[in-house]
């Protein structure tokens, strides 16, 4: 119940615990660097697994999909995540799909950071209807027109992809090690 400071300095103050919180219609697991230690956290994966049993929608954005995998929720399911971790999803039994948003039944996963907006609009359309999602899109003025075609490894120049892979190598190696170790878990 103590405040938690994120990697960017944001302070989050918990109001409940894994044991005392209720059930939710939507379970959304965010990604980012902070997800990595949770991949080996039995309490966190157990919480996610329990919530998924009753949630109407089980969702993730970016590398949050890895925690869904660690909780045993991706086996035999189609899913996506950030491009740098996409190849780790099959280690959890998932069919990795390189798309911005992937839906498989009540499982909805979003790709990397900006795909989170596409994911949010998709989920909003499911819950509140297409008109509500379109109104939100308009309010955000969300009409992407990126100045470069470098948003995926397929479109980015090879030198940029290589530089980015080097920059992500440490976290990538840590995550891959955790995922491979967890393959012995009964949930994967």
62 is catalytic: yes
- pLDDT averaged over the chain? 93
pTM of the model: 0.91
Q: Is the pLDDT of residue 188 over 60?
A: no
> Strand, coil or helix: what is 26?
strand
- For 4-182, give the CATH class: alpha beta
> Residue 48's pLDDT band (boundaries 50, 70, 90)?
very high
Say yes or no to pLDDT of 184 above 70. Answer: no
Q: What b/e readout covers 160-169, taking b as 16+ CB neighbours within 10 angstroms?
A: ebeeeeeeee
């Amino acid at each position: 119940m103590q405040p938690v400071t994120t990697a960017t300095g944001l302070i989050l103050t918990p109001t409940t615990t894994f044991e005392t919180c209720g059930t939710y219609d939507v379970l959304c697991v965010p990604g980012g660097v902070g997800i990595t230690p949770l991949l080996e956290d039995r309490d966190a994966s157990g919480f996610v697994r329990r919530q998924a049993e009753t949630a109407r929608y089980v969702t993730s954005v970016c590398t949050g999909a890895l925690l869904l995998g660690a909780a045993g929720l991706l086996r035999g399911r189609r899913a996506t995540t950030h491009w740098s971790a996409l190849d780790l999803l099959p280690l959890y039994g998932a069919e990795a799909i390189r798309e911005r948003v992937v839906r498989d039944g009540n499982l909805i996963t979003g790709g990397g950071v900006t795909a989170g907006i596409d994911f949010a609009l998709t989920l909003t359309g499911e819950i509140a209807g297409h008109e509500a999602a379109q109104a939100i899109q308009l309010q955000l003025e969300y009409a992407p027109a990126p100045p470069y075609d470098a948003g995926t490894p397929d479109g980015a120049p090879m030198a940029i992809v290589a530089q980015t892979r080097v920059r992500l190598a440490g976290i990538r190696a840590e995550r891959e090690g955790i995922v491979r170790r967890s393959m012995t878990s009964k949930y994967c």
